[in-house]
Amino acid sequence: MKRKIYIKNSILSIAQYLSSDAKADYDSWQETETQKSYNYKIKSDFTEFSSKKRNHRFYAAITLNDENQTLIGFVMLSPPDSPPDLAIRIKRAFQNNGYGSSAFALATDYCINKLGYDKIYAGCFETNIISKKMLIKCGYKPNPEGNTIETNIYTGEKIIQYDYVFEKL
């Protein structure tokens, strides 16, 4: 089944999330590095995970612009009861190729210009240098008043989640 394309560039697309994506979505959450990046563990099994309704404002697949629309990750905008916060997960096999920055910039553009938001927030933990660089590259600015302190799920230590904001010009 061909996916609906929301926005694309010459390399990849932000595209329709299909029910067949649930296994890859779940598997990406099982990676330790993903859990560390989000400071979150999925506690449900695959059946429970795949049956839950997503209440995000926007939840999409990231695909390569090849004939198979190869799935390389996911992008999501937080639920409506919170500030619009954009997040991304790139499958391990596709990391460190620049896809994250490209996809995040596209998703930001879509949220601002198609969904109509004036501000989009995003965050990363103090140790996630790659995400910090990606956010700055995509035009996000530090928003210190939005920084939060959390407890690391692995070490029990306090960690800072830095807040960033992208504002429509």
Q: pLDDT tens, 93-117?
A: 999 999 999 999 999 999 999 999 9
Average pLDDT, the chain: 94
| Cα gap 67→162, rounded to integer Å | 38
Query: b/e for 94-115, b at 16 or more Cβ within 10 A?
Result: bbeeebbbbbbbbbbbbbbeee
The C-alpha R_g of the chain, in whole angstroms, comes to 16
The percent of residues in the chain predicted with pLDDT above 90, rounded, is 86
Note if the pTM is more than 0.85. Answer: yes
Mean local confidence (pLDDT), 76-99: 95
Domain 5-167 has CATH 3.20.20.70: no
What are the residue boundaries of the structural domains of the chain, listed by start?
Answer: 5-167
Q: What is the pLDDT, as a whole number, of residue 128?
A: 92
Tokens coding 97: 């190729």
